[in-house]
Amino acid sequence: MEKRILPAIGHIKLQKLQPHHLLEFYNNIAEGGIRLDTHHTPTDALVNILESYSIPDVVKLSGVTFKTAQRIKKGSPTNRKTAEIICNALGADTSKMFSIDNDKKLSDKTIRHHHSTVSSVLATAVKWNLISSNPAERVDLGKMPKYKPDYYDDEQVAAMFIALEDEPIRYRTMVFLTIDTGCRTGEITGLKWSDIDFDNGTIAISRQRQYVTGYGTFEKEPKTENGQRTITMSATVAAMLQQYKTRQIEDTFKLGEAWSADHYVFLHEDGTPLHPHRPYTWFVEFLKRHDLPKITYHQLRHTNASLLIAAGVDIVTLSGRLGHGDKNVTLNTYSHIIKSKEAQAANRMDIFYSKATKNTKNFRNSPQIVPKAV
């Protein structure tokens, strides 16, 4: 709303807002360079200017962190907000101090999310009799291609588990837990030890941690109303969590006052919580190091779903474990996986027929046994 929608159409009176205004807005944000995570790389002009400043000077002048100031002075890329902060502090033009990566575009799904947000606001305006109809309902964005999530099969999961043996226990446990429960990344990083019931082997999902550019890291409720749920974990993962908790307690005693006390499950070596984006960035590096097929950390959630579908878990149970608000969401998301398993069902029937026919022939050829009268 604040970064894109309001600056583009916020000045238009509700009664005068028309479908063509919305279409122009969607066409505009579909162009390159509109993403908020676009990389801004310092130009030679900025690097030369900052040569006369020490890193503490840059920190004091702009308010950015020491690490950020160090990266900027080296000419490393940063985000849009940091670039604007640096240029405002120096009184310089951002377009001259940073070169911008304009190749990235918003995905079709993100543009539709903007449309859903606008439509929801306008639907409320109709309900409040501020306007007679919702102009967003007269905007046709076309049919969106059906989403088919990538995931690992059994053999790829096994190869990943072998590679994880050489990784730090926090990441090894984190991946196993995600594969085991199908939790979202924010739910994993928002997990606290108080959420884990080792006696009953369950995990309560009641929050997630997110990072938003310009706002920082914060806690919020799960994505959907059904996102607040209790999941039964496997004995294997429960044992791993126990081992990891023991290691974390040992680290607490080793670091003493240097330990940043927190109750989250997944922490850095000094006790500070993992950044919500850290699982993604670590996982990308991990796959490269071990030459494993490329998927995102979130797609471990899809891997969990595919494994459970293959194991014969029903859709209602799967939907509940994943925290979907409607089982139809689960059906639509994993329809291609379910379809592939449907073909396997026919093969199983062939095996059944083969065994049944063989047993029938054996029965016909065997001597008939007449039950004795009592």
CATH assignment of the domain containing 54 = 1.10.260.40
Claim to verify: residue 160 and residue 17 sit in the same structural domain: no
Other beta carbons less than 10 A from residue 349's beta carbon = 10
Interatomic CA distance for residues 291 and 2, integer angstroms: 41
CA-closest candidate to residue 146, choices 362, 351, 366, 337: 337
CA-closest candidate to residue 201, choices 170, 237, 172: 237
Q: For residue 196, list its beta bridge partners.
A: 203
Claim to verify: residue 79 and residue 123 sit in the same structural domain: no
Claim to verify: residue 82 and residue 111 sit in the same structural domain: no
| DSSP assignment string, 125-154 | HHHTTSSSS-GGGG----PPPPP------H
Q: How many domains does the chain have?
A: 3
Give, as one character, the DSSP assignment of residue 295: -
Claim to verify: residue 158 and residue 303 sit in the same structural domain: yes
CA-closest candidate to residue 19, choices 196, 166, 139, 194: 139
Q: Can you give the residue range of the structural domain that contains 55?
A: 40-100
Opening angle at CA 327, ends 321 and 331, nearest 5: 105
In a domain, 88, yes or no: yes
Claim to verify: residue 215 and residue 254 sit in the same structural domain: yes
Can you give the pLDDT of all 374 residues of the chain as single tens digits?
888 899 889 999 999 999 999 999 888 888 765 666 667 889 999 999 999 899 999 999 899 888 888 989 988 888 878 888 999 999 998 888 988 765 567 788 888 899 999 999 999 999 999 999 999 999 988 876 666 778 998 899 999 999 999 999 999 999 999 999 999 999 999 999 999 999 999 999 999 999 876 678 888 888 777 789 999 999 999 999 999 999 888 887 776 665 555 688 998 877 788 899 999 999 999 999 999 999 999 999 999 999 998 888 888 999 999 998 788 888 878 887 777 666 666 666 677 677 777 666 565 665 554 555 54
CB 55 within 8 A of CB 70: yes
pTM for the predicted model, two decimal places = 0.65
Q: Strand, helix or coil at 257?
A: helix
Amino acid at 77: P
Claim to verify: residue 171 and residue 302 sit in the same structural domain: yes
End-to-end alpha carbon distance in the chain: 84
In a domain, 374, yes or no: no
In a domain, 343, yes or no: no
Give, as one character, the DSSP assignment of residue 267: B
Claim to verify: residue 53 and residue 159 sit in the same structural domain: no
Interatomic CA distance for residues 209 and 203, integer angstroms: 16
CATH assignment of the domain containing 294 = 1.10.443.10
Spatial neighbors of 156 by CB under 8 A, at least 6 apart, are 292, 293
